[in-house]
Amino acid sequence: MADDAQFVTAVPGLDRLLCGGLRPGGMYLVAGDPGAGKTVLAHQTGAHHAAGGGSILYLTALVESHQTLLSQMRSFSFFNPSIVPNAFYYASVAPALESGGLNGVRQEIARLLLSREPDLVILDGLHTLKVMADSAAEYQRLLTFLQAQCASTGVTMLVIANREAQDAADPMYTVSDGILVLETEQSNRRRIRTLEVRKLRGRQHLTGSHVMEITGDGVRVYPRVEALAANLKPPFEPPLPAHAAFGIEGVDAMIDDGFGSNSVTLIPGPSGVGKTLFGLSFLTAGAEAGENVLFLGFHETPDRLLAKADSIGLTLRPHVAAGRADIRWHAAADLAVDRIAQGVLDDVERNDIRRVVIDSMDELRHGLSRPGRTLPFLSAFTQLLRGHGTAVLLTSEASDSDGLRVTAPLPEISAAVDNIVVLRYLQAGAQLHRAMSILKVRDQAHDELLREYTISAKGITVGGRLDPTGLPDTVSYAPASGDTE
């Protein structure tokens, strides 16, 4: 058997963590608390191989009854009960355990392997076998036996076990070829399921813990974008030959007919200053140029956004109708960021999307469960998008209460983006003016003037150099403080 052969788990996202799948003939521990999804995951893999003509042996050791397992699995779309018993065979090792101890279990497993000739064995209830062992040596002997059986017959084995405090000392952690740990963690008053590949012998994998969900379709894992980006080989930094026009005449003139076609642009500014309209203009310009484009929003529904685009004369609506432009809206309460990011990346890949607007990055930041993750997440996410040749525009509401002073949304955000366009209000007497300035364009000349712009039914109009008379003489874009996260 080739060393690079893969035994796919068929759990969406998991095979990506495993860089392809498991090694045929390997023994893998699936560990987690009760209810973490271990049994569902194992059934999902088994059902996939059974449906493809494989033979699955599901061994239980004083855990749920086979009737209970079947009843639970019927509710999942991946499980067709017709695969039982021919392709998916349940057997209990409990009688052998009671009559012959772990030695009896070894003999029973050897007998079943011979008679069923399975491609995959799932052993559910390792903790029971450990408790029933007469000695630590007997338990170790069982594990060595299982591992040798797998190696010598090419059978892949998933061993399901509850997690225990003394896990690290369990010889299963040494003997197994890989360890998948399923956990839950508290985040923003929500319980989040996670999966981590703790060990994978002789194979590359995506490290760290990753968000996992269980739905009616079974288990799905969303690889952390930071891990996906770190796995890019070589780090993808394509050239930026073409320009992504904004579609706003005065703006494009300021930036030499557009930003790099796979660059990342940040637009910070106060509420109501027009950040979303800049994003919609950017999107429409791409669609007009024949590109597929995506708007990822958290505040306004697609209908409201289209009405907003209509109100300033943008021709986005027909592009949405034609399928060239997609507006995806996520309620602020449903901020499973890794799932959202994976959905965007899948769409970009599948539909060759060339522009993505994220309105705003602040919602992604609030949805991230771990402090300090925002910048690594955004850097990785945008790196993956730009690796596809996609231009990204991020908006961010970052200002003081009167909108006159704009603050960078994160310390060091500048390093993660190529371009920064600051939108702000300036006060002259009782009148507020909208003004824009281009703070940064990577590797590209740009206009450095502060310019006024107006928003009307005709669109966004950028004027000439702002008349400084009566305006405050201060820089109104400041770096974020270190404790922004």
Partner 1 sequence: MSALRVLVVDDEPMMLEIAAGMLSASGFKVLTAMRGEEAIEIARRDRPEVVLCDIMMPGLDGRDVCRAIKDDPDLGGIPVVLHSSLREDEVDWQSSGADAFRYKLSDLRGLPSFLRQLVEGAH
Q: Cβ 95 to partner 1, closest distance in Å?
A: 19
Task: Fill in the per-residue mask, 19 to 38: x = in contact with partner 1 (CB under 8 A), - = not in contact.
Answer: ------x-------------
List the beta strands (DSSP E) in 188-269: 190-200, 209-215, 218-222, 243-244, 259-260, 264-269
Q: Cβ 142 to partner 1, closest distance in Å?
A: 10
Q: Cβ 412 to partner 1, closest distance in Å?
A: 50
**CA 158/CA 143 separation, integer angstroms:** 12
**CA 181/CA 205 separation, integer angstroms:** 14
Considering the complex, state which of residue 172 and residue 421 has its C-beta at the smaller distance from partner 1. Answer: 172
Considering the complex, state which of residue 111 and residue 366 has its C-beta at the smaller distance from partner 1. Answer: 111
Among 66, 141, 328, 442, binds partner 1 (CB under 8 A): 141
Binding piece for partner 1, criterion CB under 8 A, among 38-46, 87-95, 139-147, 414-422: 139-147
Considering the complex, state which of residue 145 and residue 246 has its C-beta at the smaller distance from partner 1. Answer: 145
Among 52, 95, 100, 154, binds partner 1 (CB under 8 A): 154
Q: Does position 5 bind partner 1 by CB under 8 A?
A: no
Q: Does position 149 bind partner 1 by CB under 8 A?
A: yes
Binding to partner 1 (CB under 8 A) within 60-119 occurs at 106-107, 110-111, 114, 117
The HSE-up count of residue 388 (CA atoms within 13 Å, CB side) is: 23
Binding piece for partner 1, criterion CB under 8 A, among 138-146, 205-213, 348-356, 406-414: 138-146
Tell me the number of residues near partner 1 by CB under 8 A.
17
For residue 170, which of 157, 181, 156, 185 has the smallest C-alpha distance? Answer: 181
Backbone angles phi, psi at 482, to 5 degrees: -65, -15
For residues 438-450, b (16+ Cβ closer than 10 Å) or e, as one string? bbebeebebbeeb
List the beta strands (DSSP E) in 144-240: 156-162, 178-187, 190-200, 209-215, 218-222
| ∠ Cα 10 13 15 (to 5°) | 55
Chain centroid offset of residue 348 CA = 13
Q: Cβ 105 to partner 1, closest distance in Å?
A: 13
Q: How far is CA 49 from CA 22, 30, 217, in A?
A: 13, 18, 16
Q: Does position 333 bind partner 1 by CB under 8 A?
A: no
Q: Does position 377 bind partner 1 by CB under 8 A?
A: no
For helices 66-73 and 38-51, angle between their N-to-C axes, nearest 10 degrees: 80
Q: Cβ 28 to partner 1, closest distance in Å?
A: 16
Q: Cβ 200 to partner 1, closest distance in Å?
A: 18
Terminal Cα distance for the chain, rounded: 50
Q: Does position 153 bind partner 1 by CB under 8 A?
A: yes
Give the residues lining the site for partner 1 (CB under 8 A).
1, 25, 106-107, 110-111, 114, 117, 141, 144-145, 148-149, 151-154
